[in-house]
Amino acid sequence: MAQSAAIAWQERTAAQRTAIPWYLWACALAVTSASFGGVWDISWHESIGRDTFWTAPHLFIHFGGILAGTAAAWLIFHTTFSRSAAERAGAVRIWGFYGPLGAFLCCWGGMAMVTSAPFDNWWHSAYGLDVKILSPPHIVLILGLMAIRLGVVVLILGEMHRADGVLRRKLQALLLYTFTYLLGVAIGVFQEYTFTDSMHSARFYLVLSLFTPMFLVAVAQVSGFRWASTAIAGIFTTLNLMFLWLLPLFPAQPKLGPVYQHVTSFVPPPFPLLILVPALALDLLRPRLRTANNWGRSAACGAVFVGTFAAVQWPFAYFLQSPAARIWVFGTQYFPFFVPPTDEWVRYVFSQVEGSSLEFWLLMALTLAIAMLSSRAGLSLGGWMRRVRR
């Protein structure tokens, strides 16, 4: 009997060492819910308009904030009032409370997201039913989303750096999944500047060079996976293709005016940008830069990102503007109901964002410098993340 009890205890202990803590699963679900809700909410604005605050996408978004905040708060209170010195030793102290740094980030992000809800409702009541991504309440929401996503990544890293074997590999996979959403918000926040008609402008490449290289470089620093950048770019592409192909299957009809486009189903996000190519190029380049200093690695990564991305996205933009892309696979026939027929996007014409060739090349030179600085920030961010233990 005693031997059976000892074996059962050993099996239970082994299972605990290979099981991902429930609060990490809860936070990962929160990030997924808020992200899916965000994409659906943008589609709702583009297909129906903002008819009420209590739409399903809003509920998904704020459920994510509440879930992440609640799970993180439980972890903080549990650590603060625990009698275990080991748990407190692996925590940070803020305002008298103890807990992992990621938990505090998730709590702040959850509060910001919940606060943005009444702020957004008041904003629409005061200034109209706008459809802008970067309105003040949306900025508060985006900051909250970023805090939760970064908090979840930091929480996972703290656990991963203390784990080994099977548990470490599981946490590594969860890290790549959640890191994808950091990349997603870095690209999605500039969505209004990355439509097809902007793809032959230097501004298009500039805005995508602000944060995209940073996250592609950072994830490779901390995950320990050889193809980390390619993995998160692949997950990002897959999720966007899923939205592109599934959302038009559901009916929708505009409830606001003026209505310029005939919309009968949900308008999906555009075909995903080809960041998978520069991500793969960065993964292939990385082993060759082991002996280079940080600035040398940053310069190489920034140049490779801009060069490979422009090399594939520029000619692909010609295809996206052609009639051949106006099918369900590429989705260039979908437009929000409020876009007038005279818009260059609707007419499949490239916008002349820069006034001259000189201005274009000066902005492209600035884009290259920004990509290098973004890569350097990624090395610093990744280096800090590698030291996270609590």
pLDDT at 299 over 70: yes
Of 133, 165, 189, the position where a domain reaches its end is: 189
Residue-level pLDDT at 124? 63
Around 353, how many Cα atoms within 13 Å sit in the side-chain half-sphere?
20
Rounded to 5 degrees, φ, ψ at 266 are: -65, 135
* Helices 22-47, 56-80: crossing angle, 10 deg rounding: 160
171/215 same-domain check: no
Note whether residue 10 is domain-resident: no
236/277 same-domain check: yes
Total count of domains within the chain: 2
Note whether residue 300 is domain-resident: yes
The C-alpha torsion from 358 through 360 and 364 to 366, rounded to 10°, is 70
Residue-level pLDDT at 140? 79
Q: 57 preceded by cis ω (within 30°)? A: no
Residue-level pLDDT at 123? 67
Structure letter (DSSP) for residue 266: P
Question: Alpha-carbon distance 270 to 194, whole Å?
Answer: 9
What is the rounded average pLDDT of the residues 249-272? 91
222/116 same-domain check: no
Question: Alpha-carbon distance 168 to 165, whole Å?
Answer: 6
127/216 same-domain check: no
Of 166, 189, 212, the position where a domain reaches its end is: 189
118/266 same-domain check: no
165/247 same-domain check: no
336/251 same-domain check: yes
Note whether residue 3 is domain-resident: no
Q: Over the stretch 212-250, which tens digit does the pLDDT of each residue have? A: 999 999 999 888 888 999 999 999 999 999 999 999 999
138, 120 contact by CB (below 8 A): yes
∠ Cα 305 309 313 (to 5°): 170
Residue-level pLDDT at 10? 42
Note whether residue 6 is domain-resident: no
Q: Over the stretch 26-40, which tens digit does the pLDDT of each residue have? A: 999 999 998 999 899
157/219 same-domain check: no
224/154 same-domain check: no
120/182 same-domain check: yes
Residue partners of 283: CB distance under 8 A and separation at least 6? 220, 226, 227, 228, 229, 230
Residue-level pLDDT at 201? 95
Rounded mean pLDDT of the chain?
86
Of 173, 189, 205, the position where a domain reaches its end is: 189
What is the rounded average pLDDT of the residues 131-137? 64
Task: Give which of 56, 57, 68 is closest to 103, Cα–Cα.
Answer: 68
What is the rounded average pLDDT of the residues 364-384? 94
160/204 same-domain check: no
Return the minimum-mean-pLDDT range out of 13-17, 96-100, 150-154: 13-17
Q: Which domain holds residue 181?
A: 18-189
Q: How many CB atoms lie within 10 A of CB 386?
A: 15
Helix extents (H) in 130-227: 136-160, 165-188, 202-209, 212-223
Q: What is each CA distance from 219 to 6, 42, 188, 274, 326, in whole angstroms?
A: 41, 27, 18, 18, 35
For residue 99, list its beta bridge partners. Answer: 92
Residue-level pLDDT at 336? 93
Residue partners of 61: CB distance under 8 A and separation at least 6? 33, 34, 37, 38, 41, 113, 141
pLDDT at 3 over 80: no
Q: Over the stretch 157-191, which tens digit does the pLDDT of each residue have? A: 888 888 788 888 899 999 999 999 989 888 888 88
32/152 same-domain check: yes
Residue-level pLDDT at 133? 60
Confidence of residue 1 (pLDDT cuts 50, 70, 90): very low
